[in-house]
Structure 1
Amino acid sequence: MEVRQLTANDAEAYWELRLEALKKNPEAFASSYEEAILKDDPIKSTVRNMESGATFGAFDNETLIGVITFVRGAGIKVRHKADLFAVYVTPEYRGKGAGRALLSRVIDYAKNQDALLKLSVSVVSTNERAKHLYKSFGFKTVYIEEKALYVQGQFLNEEHMVQYF
């Protein structure tokens, strides 16, 4: 398995995996599949998003099997912190080290960012596997947002987790 930073050349593969993620795990994302498929030129917006942050992908041979996106605060007052978004590993590869490899790579990247002190991620409270992974890297839950998402007729809580450098 290889983990590397994605480029514009990976935008189409990323978009396909993103649609899979929204369809297979709608509870894990604030975006919905129904909204995503209505986007005008999603590949172009995917490239723009990749350029505004750093997105890493896990590959099995040439197949993109997992992703994680790092976005740093842009203004002077928030440059000391960054967030992780759109974290996903395709179901067939869960429990096989892809998530751990992605998280390890993005944390190494974060630690090499000048004056970055805090890395945050939000995870639906029922996702025990993801919470365990984040905790194994030193993330701690700082608060639980009740009714953060409304998915398929039910409210879901999100745990907001942070790691300080």
Structure 2
Amino acid sequence: MNWEQQLTQWISQDQDMIDALRLVRALKMNEGAIAAGFIRNYVWDRLHGFGARTPLNDVDVIYYDASSKSEERDRRFEKDLMKQMSQYQWSVKNQARMHLRNHHAPYHSIADAMLRWPETATAVAVRINDQDRIEIFAPHGLDDLFQLLVRRGPYFEDVDYFLQRVESKNWRYLWPKLEVITHVRDEDTTSKTIHIRQLQKTDVEAFTDLRLEGLRLYPEYFGESLEEAMKNPMEKIRSKIVSTSDRFVLGAWTEEQELVGVIGFYRESGVKFRHKGVLWGMYVTPSEQGQGIGRTLLQQAIVHARNIVGLEQLNLSIVTTNQTARRLYEQAGFQVYGQEARAMRWNDLYWDEDYMCLQL
């Protein structure tokens, strides 16, 4: 069974979705369909084995009518839908005018408009035609949706907005199996794809290799020494990277399954300190630095931390000479609250450390 057949089957098994689709059909909008979270969330819920549907902020209805681009018409459609199915917050948008908001050339259909949406998995719409058959519109295909991949759409160029949107939606908290993918550019401007996911016990060798590389190349940036790290037994390292409710390590992976970046988190253990968490071990291999991987790892770590019940702040420490990392943390909202002189001593040199905090 292919993805389209699977999606059609799942929708046909949900009477509430069928009723909503028939209601939209009754309004006789040109190319009228229900899109985005109504479909995406349902698939992710099914793939996670959830017994109940994740609540929706709204139900997005899209259509295409170049002859009438009035927003007031959309509002009338929303009122009609609310009268029939008031359990949903309906949002109706004529895609024939959305290019104006996005500063694009005019779109030619709902599928053409969806090509420009932020994520490929969101760019899916469904309708029931006059023959009572389910029709699916997925200009980027259904692979990412069913493979639980959050990938920036190829025609959506605002990387910062994409990352901020993923963070604000809390998708990784609602659906833990999701992988976030960001596209970066290397020096010859060829496209490169990076997957962000939590490390598992099977990733211990890749993590160890990357950690040792960082300690070897940038010994002044880490509290642990290379000699100490090399003595750590594999089981100790494995227990350090395996995720629990109070700790995790995120990794950045290439398409070739090479680990090129990491960031760790743990929650303070004392009863009086449980409101605090600590970020540690941020590192991106030199060949991949300067391409937004560190920023993505940091943003995703903050997303995870914000969804831990009772966690109120994130702390970290950084040597004062590491100005690149400091700027990255400041851009994410961290503020310096103190400094320790001569915090580390290595090779007869002393290193000062700044202490930074982010209120969640």
Q: Same fold (TM over 0.5)?
A: yes
CA distance in 1, matches of 2:212, 2:221: 13
CA distance in 2, matches of 1:4, 1:30: 25
Q: Deviations over 1:131-159 (max 9, x none)?
A: 00000000000001110111222100011
The 5 Å alignment of 1:130-149 reads 130-149=325-344
Partner amino acid, structure 2, of 1:150: R
**Residue 50 of structure 1 pairs with residue 244 of structure 2:** no
Partner residue in 2 for 1:38: 231
Partner residue in 2 for 1:82: 277
Partner residue in 2 for 1:59: 253
The 5 Å alignment of 1:97-108 reads 97-108=292-303
Equivalenced residues, count: 163
CA distance in 2, matches of 1:153, 1:99: 30
Partner amino acid, structure 2, of 1:31: E
Deviation, 1:112, is 0.5
Partner amino acid, structure 2, of 1:16: D
SS where residue 291 of structure 2 aligns? coil
SS where residue 37 of structure 1 aligns? helix
Larger radius of gyration: 2
Structure 1 stretch 51-60 or stretch 111-120: which is displaced more?
51-60
Instruction: Give every structure 1 segment of 4 or more consecutive aligned residues whose post-TM-superposition deviation is greater than 4 Å.
Output: none
Instruction: Give the gaps of 5 or more residues in structure 2.
Output: 1-193
CA RMSD of aligned residues (A): 1.0
Partner amino acid, structure 2, of 1:60: T
**Residue 14 of structure 1 pairs with residue 207 of structure 2:** yes
**Residue 129 of structure 1 pairs with residue 129 of structure 2:** no
Q: Deviations over 1:74-129 (max 9, x none)?
A: 23211100001111111111110110010011000001010111101111100010
TM-score normalized with structure 1 length: 0.95
Partner residue in 2 for 1:73: 268
CA distance in 1, matches of 2:305, 2:227: 32
Instruction: Give the gaps of 5 or more residues in structure 1.
Output: none
Deviation, 1:73, is 1.3
Structure 1 stretch 129-138 or stretch 71-80: which is displaced more?
71-80
Partner amino acid, structure 2, of 1:56: L
TM-score normalized with structure 2 length: 0.44
Query: 1 or 2 for the larger relative contact order (CA 8 Å, sep ≥6)?
Result: 1
CA distance in 2, matches of 1:153, 1:66: 29
CA distance in 2, matches of 1:79, 1:122: 18
CA distance in 1, matches of 2:203, 2:330: 30
Partner residue in 2 for 1:116: 311
Indicate the structure with greater strand content.
Answer: 1
